[in-house]
Amino acid sequence: MSDFRGDGEAALDWVAGYLERVGELPVASKASPGDVRGKLSPFPPEQGEPFEAVLRDLDAAILPGITHWNHPRFFGYFANTGSDPGILAELIVAALNVNAMLWTTSPAATEVEELALDWLAQLLGLPEGLHGHIDDTASTATIVALAAARELRPGGHVLTSEHANFSVEKAARLLGVECRFVPVDGDYRMRVDALAQQIEGAAAVVPTAGTTSTTSVDPVREIAAVCEQAGAWLHLDAAYAGSAAVCEEFRWTLDGAELADSIVINPHKWLFTPMDCSCFWTRRPEVVFRAFSASPEYMPEREGSVTDLKDYGPALGRRFRGLKLWAVLRCYGRDGLQALIREHVRLAQLFASWIEEEPGWEIAAPHALSVVCFRREGSDEDNAGILEHVNRSGEAFLSQTRLDGRLVLRLAVGNARTTEDDVRRAWAALREAAV
């Protein structure tokens, strides 16, 4: 028999200790392929072992193979946060272990999910009355949107910008829908004139609020007018930048969102919710329902006003993700979320000012939010070398992209534990690597 309380205390102690010292660990794992497996038994145990054994291997074998996304100097991709309320809520979700496929399979799971989405819509200034649900990822949410669009216009193509996330093209491919790309302007925003030329016969247009490379925000309001005329579904991918709209001064990131047929925002990116949590809202739930509802014999259709969330996406079984989002929103509150978002934008702008002031370095794209694209004068190889040097040092972790044919470095602030000192340390590591 397991000693649940004893093991639980040890596990929680491990988690608390990890979060206290994570900032002292090298950010990127130094593991070579096979290192982690090499330290673990290739054979399953014949007899069950105590949980203690799991914690032992965690320290000895698994932790060295972890790149610490929850590190204050993780600045790669879109940095994120496993926050205290999110971590604790995940523990409770695992204990409840409900499947939120139908309202009846656990009424609270559906209702808390819907409530958390309503709260978030209020915090972001989205219109009232949207139908919301939580998906694992924005990739899935975009599949949902494009499947709905296909219901309305089978055979139509999908339009998105050259700077859209690859998940849009992938969703289109999965659905057997052609994806076409709209060129961007000098600030990496979808060109509305070019969109208008390609719109005829389109089933959907997917603009982005916060593109993956530079966080540019497409002109959604103008795009919506083109969609309206052509009868195309407008799905807004606000996976990253939508979160900024909790602050009034960043509401512009969702300008025109009220005109979208569907929207996705990822609290597991910039809203302090542990992986995975992707929020999808639509003002046309009946179309999404048409694309996904099914009532097999073993799940008879029910009369009534409740929602069965399995009818709004590809998955039948659904985790109780609403609890962690609700817990995060409840424990941070509007003030707490705003303070963190503002601080992250401040830190990114501070970093950008250092780049601007330092001879030999340049800013590579507009940077209104918490991500800065920059490069050192010189070749792509020089810049790749700097990135590798910094990441290998363990002092900080950054990522890269390509803009106008040139390799550029990206610093993304997004972890709730990041301080000004952490950003200074990353800058010092970059300058040292460039010598």
Measured from the CB of residue 309, what is the shortest distance to ligand PLP in angstroms?
Answer: 18
Q: Which stretch binds ligand PLP (CB under 6 A): 28-36, 185-193, 235-243, 393-401?
A: 235-243
Distances (CA, A) of 69 to 184, 296, 332: 31, 41, 20
Q: Whose Cβ is closer to ligand PLP: residue 103's or residue 188's?
A: 188
For ligand PLP, the closer of residues 106 and 253 by Cβ is 253
CB of 5 to ligand PLP, least distance (A): 35
**Residues 348-367, interacting with ligand PLP (CB under 6 A):** none
Is the CB of 211 or the CB of 262 nearer to ligand PLP? 211
Listed in sequence order, the residues at least 6 apart from 401 whose beta carbon sits closer than 8 Å to its beta carbon are 212, 213, 214, 373, 407, 408, 410
Cα–Cα distance, 70 to 80 (Å, whole number): 7
Bridge partners, 406 (sequence order): 403
Nearer of residues 8 and 219 to ligand PLP, judged by Cβ: 219
Dist CA 20 CA 222 (whole Å): 47
Contact present, 79 and 415 (Cβ < 8 Å): yes
CA distance 358 to 317: 53
The only residue of 243, 278, 282, 415 in contact with ligand PLP, by rule CB under 6 A: 278
Per the structure block, which two tokens stand in for 398?
């950054």
**Which CB sits closer to ligand PLP, 153 or 170?**
170
Task: Give the three-state DSSP class for 157.
Answer: strand
- Stretches 135-143, 188-196, 324-332, 381-389: which one binds ligand PLP (CB under 6 A)? 135-143
229: Cβ–Cβ under 8 A, 6 or more apart, which residues? Answer: 199
Give the residue from 68, 395, 26, 77 showing the smallest Cα distance to 386.
395
Of 132-140, 175-183, 329-337, 373-381, the segment contacting ligand PLP by CB under 6 A is: 132-140
The torsion angles phi and psi of 236, rounded to 5 degrees, stand at: -95, 115
Instruction: Taking each helix axis as running N to C, give the angle between helix 84-96 and helix 322-357, from 0 to 180 degrees, rounded to the nearest 10.
Output: 150
Pick the stretch among 137-145, 187-195, 287-295, 364-372 that binds ligand PLP (CB under 6 A): 137-145
Q: Of residues 80, 83, 106, 212, which one binds ligand PLP by CB under 6 A?
A: 212
Q: Both tokens of residue 265? A: 């925002």
Contact segment (CB under 6 A) with ligand PLP among 19-27, 193-201, 209-217, 426-434 equals 209-217
In angstroms, what is the minimal distance from the CB of 140 to ligand PLP?
Answer: 7
Phi-psi region of 192 (alpha: psi -120 to 50; beta: other; left: phi over 0): alpha
* Helices 138-152 & 166-174 angle (0-180, nearest 10): 50
CA 390 to chain centre: 24
Return the residue of 237, 261, 311, 395 that touches ligand PLP, per CB under 6 A: 237
Q: Indicate whether 29 belongs to the interface with ligand PLP (CB under 6 A).
A: no
Q: Are 235 and 182 in contact (CB under 8 A)?
A: no
Q: Where in 141-170 is the site for ligand PLP (CB under 6 A)?
A: 165, 167
Give whole-number Cα distances, 158 to 113, 138, 238, 322, in Å: 29, 17, 17, 30
- Residue 208 near ligand PLP by CB under 6 A: yes
Q: Least distance to ligand PLP from the beta carbon of 10, Å?
A: 32
Q: Using the rule CB under 6 A, is 312 a contact of ligand PLP? A: no
Minimum distance, C-beta of residue 75 to ligand PLP, in the bound complex (Å): 14
Closer CB to ligand PLP, 199 or 371, in the complex: 371
Shortest approach of ligand PLP to residue 124 CB, angstroms? 16
Nearer to ligand PLP, 75 or 361 (CB): 75
**Interaction between residue 78 and ligand PLP (CB under 6 A):** yes
Query: Position of tokens 């949590």?
Result: 277
Between 365 and 429, CB nearer to ligand PLP: 365
Residue 239 found at the interface with ligand PLP (CB under 6 A): yes
The residues binding ligand PLP (CB under 6 A) are: 78, 137-139, 165, 167, 208, 210-212, 237, 239-240, 266, 278
